[in-house]
Amino acid sequence: MNSKQIECALELALTLNFGQAAENLYITQPTLSYHIKTLEDEIGFQLFERSGKGAVLTPAGKQFTQDLRQIQNHLQEAIERGQNFGYRYNETIRLAIFDIKALPILPQAIKIFSHTHPNTYIDVQFNATDALEQLLNRQLDIALAITSSLPNITELEATFLYQSPIYLVVENSHPLSTLKTAKSTDLNNQTLMVSQISPKELKEAQKKVISKSQVKTFNSPNHSSTITNILSGRGVCLVPGFLKDNTPNLTWIPFEETSGIACSIVKRKDNHREVVQDFQKLLNELLQDN
């Protein structure tokens, strides 16, 4: 499979018209048909049902082109990272964090580090669900992780970075929005949004509220849904401080009955690169200053 075959398949999947796809790619229609046919022969299944100049994705073709587009995007990202690296850097630090809000000092850290280590490139991945696997495979140098969620893996070591508070989040016009701090009994007769993918400490805080006050619960699958539900007046929620942002019309109230959520920097024990240690030290210093 080559890049031209991939390009042709993805363009035809968008237009579903051989003539339009060929025009968009600045090639002839027979050339487009040739690339599609050779690709189908290579992979062993049909991508498109043909009808005159039109085309319809087969079920297998629909799934394949969706996966192919993700591969193409990853390839383009890899090319761009390589171009950045080759242009001016001779070392790279590969870092994964789950959200920029979880490490707001990161841009400042990168800026400072670029002056002290001008030949080192900081390559940041966001929302990397396989960060630990990438660390084990040496595809990452360091990753930010919730300490309580870390499995006991001999090859990895975790260094405490900061303690994230937990907040009660309500819509600005909610009766609880005037509270300076919140406790479980303040949530009597409220609807509390909960999630099965919450960190251990957050689940414990939710259980404490449920046991101490009369609340209804409402399952929310992710943070974006939670914020939408809060703003829609459907309920309130306990949220980690590392997800705090400037979304309008929300009030974030410190929740008293928890010590928060510990977050750590994780790396391989055998990663002794000096630039990695220097960057980790800088992150700690900036967090202490803030």
Q: What is the pLDDT of residues 33-63, one digit of tens each?
A: 999 999 999 999 999 998 776 899 999 989 9
- Mention every residue, 6+ apart, whose C-beta is less than 8 A from residue 35: 4, 5, 8, 9
> How far, in Å, CA of 165 to CA of 19, rounded?
57
Model-wide pTM > 0.85: no
Query: What is the structure's pLDDT at 99?
Result: 87
pLDDT of residue 278: 96
**Topology, domain 166-259:** D-Maltodextrin-Binding Protein; domain 2 (3.40.190)
CA distances from 24 to 2, 18, 31, 89, 141 (A): 19, 10, 13, 36, 41
Q: Which residue has the tokens 């909960």?
A: 194
pLDDT tens digits for 143-195? 999 999 999 899 999 999 999 999 999 999 999 999 999 999 999 999 999 98
Pick the more confident residue, 271 or 76. Answer: 271
Q: Out of 3.40.50.300, 3.10.129.10, 3.40.1500.10, 3.40.190.10, select the CATH number for domain 89-163+262-289.
A: 3.40.190.10
Domain boundaries, the chain: 3-82, 89-163+262-289, 166-259
**Cα–Cα–Cα angle for 86, 89, 95, rounded to 5 degrees:** 105
Judge whether 3-82 and 166-259 match in fold. Answer: no
CATH of domain 3-82: 1.10.10.10
Rounded distance between C-alpha atoms, residue 259 and residue 273, angstroms: 33
Q: How far apart are CA 242 and CA 103, in angstroms?
A: 7
